[in-house]
Structure 1
């Protein structure tokens, strides 16, 4: 396990920290505590923090423009005004199925938004992966148990997604102009426990958080393992490139399902970290609603 300079960016413990993303125009990172219905806002260089209470469980955020964000909630996609925090429903998603909730998501370079749903108790095959493309909702892959590691190659011609329960990371060819599949998924990495959120850097390398292992694993586009970076909390959940030069990695974590003894043995559980990974990150694209 490789040790890189690491700091605690936020001491607040997340029950289920997830969905970090970064807005380089304001030097602001955003992430969620899904189960506690909280949205975190943090200026990277100053570490200035705000925590916003949410009316619903939410797990991912995409920038629309300087004034608006798209928020993935457990019953649909909402447009949030940054200044006021007001949220308006844009599109319902599985609103008639109370057994599912939102999970992982990323924006394709074209502006198409991929996201996943899953059973609230991780019921087998209860979830799916969707794409929001030109304002229309498209179900891409049904029968997913725990959708994770949604991310894309720099050119937008390859998509990746995991079903964590199956210990499987898939690779799927995409139309770079639309972010939609032009072929079937194929296994890229198999048999790795706890594959959670992921992000791709400017060189096409996949940075994947391993839940339960306290690490970020780095793979090349062929699935070859290159590095493992230690995270100071066992249940590391998702990374995002942050900072003006996108060279650092913000990593969320969680204490979900940990009893008192497990939390005592993992003293930094649920905190959010900044890893000086000396990476070449890519900025997250803005989502296109039409």
Structure 2
């Protein structure tokens, strides 16, 4: 396992830290504590972090424009006003099923937003992956227990995702212009051993950086499915990475203490904190979500 220069960005512990994203225009990182209904806003110029309480259980966001974001939450997609935090329901998402919530999500380079759902108690097969495309929300894949690792190749021609319960990183061919599948998913990498595949992001070279829940690390996989690097994270339950900074060469990694008893938390003193890792890799800017036809 490789060690890289690492700092704690936010010492506030997340019960379930998830969904980090980065806005290069304002040099601001955003992430969630899903279970505690909190949105974190970290201004990287000053390293000041603000915490916004939410009325919904949200897990991910995408930038619409400089004043608005789209939040994926347990009952729908909400437009959030950045200046005042006001939420407006945009579209329902499994609102008729109170047993599920949103989970991992990311924007395709075309502006299509992929969102995963799952059972609140991670019930087997209770979740799905959806795509918000041209204003319509459509189901792409069903019978998923814990959807994670949603991310895309830089050219938009390949999508990746996993069901953490199965620990298989899948790839699927996409139409780069729409972000929608043109084929069926196939296995790229099967993880065996300690930990499980969690959130992921792709760098400018097409390498997939995946947080290994329970493994205290980030694993890097080539587009051909070979594990090429493993980088240590200070917390055991690393959950999701995103590239940040003016050169997109630092990796923000969230973590969680969900499911850890007092002894496990004592043995993992950095549990739930959020970190910055200096990487010998460079990301690509996060895409803006497109709410409808242009």
Give TM-score scaled by structure 1 length.
0.99
CA contact 1:24–1:243 (8 Å) conserved in 2 = yes
Map 1:86-101; keep pairs closer than 5 Å: 86-101=86-101
Gaps of 5+ in 2: none
1:129-166 CA deviation, whole Å, 9 max, x = no partner?
00000110110000000000000000000000000001
SS at match of 2:165: helix
CA contact 2:191–2:197 (8 Å) conserved in 1 = no
1:163 corresponds to: 163
Write the distance in 2 (CA, Å) between the matches of 1:142 and 1:3: 38
1:231-278 CA deviation, whole Å, 9 max, x = no partner?
000000000000011000000000000000000000000000000012
Q: Please report the RMSD computed on the Cα atoms of aligned residues, expressed in angstroms.
A: 0.6
Write the distance in 2 (CA, Å) between the matches of 1:86 and 1:30: 16
1:227 corresponds to: 229
- Find runs of 4+ consecutive structure 1 residues off by over 6 angstroms: none
1:175-194 CA deviation, whole Å, 9 max, x = no partner?
00000000000011113441
Tell whether 2:38 aligns with 1:38. Answer: yes
Write the distance in 2 (CA, Å) between the matches of 1:65 and 1:245: 21
1:6 corresponds to: 6
Residue among 238, 249, 259 paired with 2:261? 259
Write the distance in 1 (CA, Å) between the matches of 2:49 and 2:10: 8
1:83 corresponds to: 83
Write the distance in 2 (CA, Å) between the matches of 1:154 and 1:171: 14
1:209 corresponds to: 211
Tell whether 2:129 aligns with 1:129. Answer: yes
1:114 corresponds to: 114
1:33-89 CA deviation, whole Å, 9 max, x = no partner?
000000000011311111000001000010000000000000010000000100000
Aligned residues, how many? 290
Tell whether 2:155 aligns with 1:144. Answer: no
Write the distance in 2 (CA, Å) between the matches of 1:80 and 1:182: 32
1:184-227 CA deviation, whole Å, 9 max, x = no partner?
00011113441000000011000000000000000100110000
2:65 corresponds to: 65
SS at match of 1:166: coil
Gaps of 5+ in 1: none
1:280 corresponds to: 282
Write the distance in 1 (CA, Å) between the matches of 2:161 and 2:127: 13
2:200 corresponds to: 198
